[in-house]
Amino acid sequence: MEGPLVSVLIAAYNHERFVQETIRSIIAQTYENIELIIIDDGSTDSTWHKIQELLPECEKRFIRVYAQTQENMGCALVSNKLISEAQGKYIYSIASDDLAKPQAIEKQVSFLEAHPDYVLVVGDNDIIDGQGQKISWDRNRNALPYDEGEYKTFAQFLNVKNYGKDFGSYESLVKGNHIPNGYLSRAKALKSILPYVKEAPLEDWFMHLQMSKLGKYGFIDEVLFSYRWHNENTSHKVEHMNDMTIQTFLFEKKLIEQDDYKQWKKVFYDNAYQIKMKLKIGNILKYYKVKSIEYKKAVLEICGKKFIL
């Protein structure tokens, strides 16, 4: 079979409504040489049953299928387990409620094969609701009919084109995550940054910060992925996301103080003020009614106590 092996990883949790559609989007890929690795992380609904229903079809389609259910371990630990099982040259991760466009993996493999100095490539995402209908966002990511919102794709919302050659650089990522979903990574690079840890709960951001230290990021200006926006999204839980952002920054600050990461220390602190501006700390405290002294202390620690709230 032509082309390097791609490991598709799915961490599934309480997505009985969506998980089969997600799996079918991988079955429908135009790229053939794929193994599917899927772990049900202790779902309390029928997610595991829905996965099992499709296993015979998966075993006919894919080079290898690894599927199991387990007690809930959380995102960090299940991500480590999924990646450790991957045997491919490339790794493609997808949430169990999102969808990959049919040519996504084929186009991304072609890019990385042609650009050996790149460690990751991603395309744009359209945005769909719980019923699979395309929607758009306003500036606060409120869902609107497709024709009414300011942002029709995730990359538009993230202002990806404005980054230019800085897309996916450590200097830009340390100010905030701007990578859409549906990315293909070099397995060797991704495995080298393991393990994910609970102290950095925004796993995708943590991963991008580490991967950006290893090589370049590519962006394909084409919708290759559907990001599902519904009431169960973690991103809707504002205070929780705020806490995870702070914790991940703190862990990154701890990392760059170590000898192996000191080359990134200056970049981190040179952008401390930008971190503050990106988070708009004062507005966050006011808008989300966050008054915790511990939160304020954490913000100061993140930014090296170079400014006062």
In tens, the pLDDT along 139-186 reads 989 999 999 999 999 999 999 999 999 999 999 998 889 999 999 999
> What are 212's two structure tokens?
């950006």
The predicted-structure confidence for 58-78, as pLDDT tens digits, reads as follows 999 999 999 999 999 988 899
* Residue among 281, 280, 278, 162 at smallest CA distance from 221: 162
**C-alpha–C-alpha distance, residues 224 and 165, integer Å:** 21
The predicted-structure confidence for 268-300, as pLDDT tens digits, reads as follows 877 755 555 555 555 444 444 444 555 556 555
CATH class of 6-236: alpha beta
Burial 206-218 (b: 16+ CB within 10 A, else e): bbbbbbbbebbbb
> What is the pLDDT at residue 308?
38
Q: In which element (H, E) is residue 299 found?
A: helix 293-302
Where exactly are the structural domains of the chain?
Answer: 6-236, 238-302
Average pLDDT in the chain: 88
The predicted-structure confidence for 178-210, as pLDDT tens digits, reads as follows 999 999 999 999 999 989 998 898 999 999 999
In the chain, the amino acid numbered 283 is N
> What is the pLDDT at residue 269?
78
Q: Are 88 and 5 in contact (CB under 8 A)?
A: yes
The predicted-structure confidence for 10-57, as pLDDT tens digits, reads as follows 999 999 999 999 999 999 999 999 999 999 999 999 999 999 999 999
pTM comes to 0.88
